[in-house]
Amino acid sequence: MSELTITALRFGFLLLLWVLIFSIVSAMRRDLMIGRKAATGAPTAREVRKHPELAPPTPAPKQQARQLVVVEGPLKGTTVQLAASPILLGRAQEATLVLEDDYASGRHARLFPQGSRWFIEDLGSTNGTYLADQQLTRALPVELGVPVRIGKTVIELRP
């Protein structure tokens, strides 16, 4: 085989390597979005001045959560007073709120205070924990009145 063909093949192979890399990167591009909503186009300060209705609603003064209420499920109506310590939710006997729910895991989720807010975190449960229809992937803050679902049980924080 001639010198020229060999050289062409040599460069061709390097090119092929980089074609592979660029195809992988372009295949990944779409993936960078998964798991979060791409919210673009929040109104700028100038747009708000021109159209006051675009302004985000001013948040109401924060109220502290004082109790946890079970609003649905076998334990409906149960309330737990919130102190400063974390709360373990699950079927296990050591849980703070022992859920009698076939769809809850032993150590299902954990509710813990940080700053002035309460956060909920899934502890690797089988059926997952849902905060307002979103399955938890990490600890998230729980606002007052937002339903947290564990199996058939739904709990809420109340002032």
Partner 1 sequence: MIKADTAPKPRRNVELALLVLALAVGIGASAMVDLNSETPFDSDFWFQSILLAVAAFAFHVVLRIRAKYADPVILPIVVALNGLGLALIHRMDGPGDDTGNNQLRWTLIAVAVAITAIWFLKDHRILRRFTFISLAASALLLVLPLVPGISAGEVLGASVWIRLGPMTFQPGEIAKITLAIFFAGYLSSNRDLILLAGRKIGPLQFPRFKDMGPMITAWLVSIGVLVFQRDLGSSVLFFGLFIVMIYVATSRISWVVIGLALILGGGFVASRIFSHVGFRLDSWWNAFTPEVYDRFPGGSRQIVQGLFGMADGGLVGTGLGQGRPDLVPFANSDMIIALIGEELGLIGLFAVVLLYLLLFTRGFRAALGTRDAFGKLLACGLSFAIALQCFVVIGGVTRLIPLTGLTTPFLAAGGSSLLANWIIVGLLLMISHTARSPIDTTPMTDASSEAVKQP
Pick the piece of the chain touching partner 1 (CB under 8 A) from 50-58, 61-69, 75-83, 101-109.
101-109
Residue 87: count other Cβ atoms within 10 Å of its Cβ: 19
133 phi, psi to nearest 5 deg: 70, 5
Residue 141: CB minimum distance to partner 1, A: 17
Q: Using the rule CB under 8 A, which residue among 36, 50, 53, 77 binds partner 1?
A: 36
Q: How far is CA 125 from CA 30, 129, 144, in A?
A: 29, 8, 24
Query: What tokens were used for 97?
Result: 């709120």
Report d(CA 103, CA 141) in Å as an integer: 23
Q: Using the rule CB under 8 A, which residue among 4, 6, 45, 84 binds partner 1?
A: 6
CA–centroid distance for 17 within its chain: 38
Q: Is 8 in the site for partner 1 (CB under 8 A)?
A: no
Binding site for partner 1 (CB under 8 A): 1, 6-7, 9-11, 13-14, 16-21, 23-25, 27-28, 31, 33-41, 86, 91, 102-106, 122-128, 130, 133-137, 149, 151-152, 154
